[in-house]
Chains A and B, each alone.
Chain A
């Protein structure tokens, strides 16, 4: 999908440029954009190094585990099909906590582990279970506390207040997560009704 969009953007752009006689601007844009991308990545190094370094301390101090314990009663309601004390719940919780702190790379392997356990709970079927869909819905709606990469970009473009978007981002994230759970429940009910018929 992303392949088509990428090629589409470029080719449509080139055709437009040919028709509108804007090849000069396009030539300039190619090198300017590439240079800008590199500048952004250099800006990202500073924030990512600092943040992931800090998070490593949090992880080793056991903060992530503490937080996972805090989320547990909440998670048990979200995943009624997962028996308490099952390893799936542990992985789900640590995945959510890692995401919460913006540790995408740490979250992914934990999420895959959670999926494996959920598949086992579902009898190893190649079909998505109810808990799997709920888990994915929460993951795709993102539950990040601090959007580090966005902060870095705002910083490198000299925002007067790079951090001002944190609170609105948390609010929007909370809304999208609540919506994701509601939408997930809605589709679950619909499936149930169909099965009953």
Chain B
């Protein structure tokens, strides 16, 4: 899938060039705007430190104790039948519930299996291609006082399942 790799490689440099040129053309004070926007990035990175520490320590304990191996061993036949590496299974469970917790799991999977392994790539794509359904629902409906969610949760969770399947199929096919 050479062309997909090519898109991956060119997308970021292309966007950088386009945004900088377009900004200059529109007379945006590019460097000042960049610095202003960048400050927000520091804030975000610092604010997720506790989420990551909390989740990664819990996963660290769970794995070091041998509990993860037992769980993975237990569901292995079913997951292998689907074609999902059993190690990724806990990520699929937590992804709709907490985005930062899932980020902790992705980091953990990448640290253990390597970023360029099948598991590392699959975890990366799964993390990037779906969002935290429960969080979105709570924030958006909570903020405007919607009490009866209707089918929203069901729709969101089924969409997550679809996203995971898509991630699995595409990663298996591409790499």
Hey, which bits of chain A sit against chain B, CB under 8 A? 1-2, 5-6, 9-10, 12-17, 20, 22, 25-26, 28-30, 32-34, 36-38, 40-42, 44-45, 47-63, 105, 108, 111-112, 115-116, 119, 126-128, 132-133, 135-137, 139-142, 144-147, 149-150, 153-154, 157-173, 175-177, 179-180, 183-184, 187-188, 191
Contacts and interface: CB of A to CB of B under 8 A. Distances in A.
A138 to B, nearest CB: 9
B155 A127 contact: no
B148 A127 contact: yes
Interface string B62-79: 111111001000000000
B45 A13 contact: no
B110 A112 contact: no
Contacts of A17: 61, 64-67
B64 A22 contact: yes
Contacts, number: 380
8 contacts: A5-B93, A44-B45, A137-B155, A146-B12, A157-B115, A164-B9, A172-B125, A187-B151
B144 A10 contact: no
B64 A183 contact: no
B111 interface: yes
Interface of B: 4-5, 7-9, 11-12, 15-16, 19-20, 22-23, 25-26, 28, 30, 33-42, 44-46, 48-49, 52-67, 70, 93-94, 96-98, 101, 103-104, 106-108, 110-111, 114-116, 120-121, 124-134, 136-137, 139-141, 143-152, 154-156, 158-160, 162-163, 166-167, 170-171, 174
Given A142-B130, A162-B115, A169-B128, A52 B163 contact: no
Contact of B97 (A5, A61, A147, A163): A5
A111 to B, nearest CB: 6
Contact of B38 (A28, A49, A58): A49
Contacts of A26: 61, 64-65
Contacts of B22: 58, 61, 63
Contacts of A175: 129, 162-163, 166, 170
A13 B90 CA distance: 14
A147 to B, nearest CB: 3
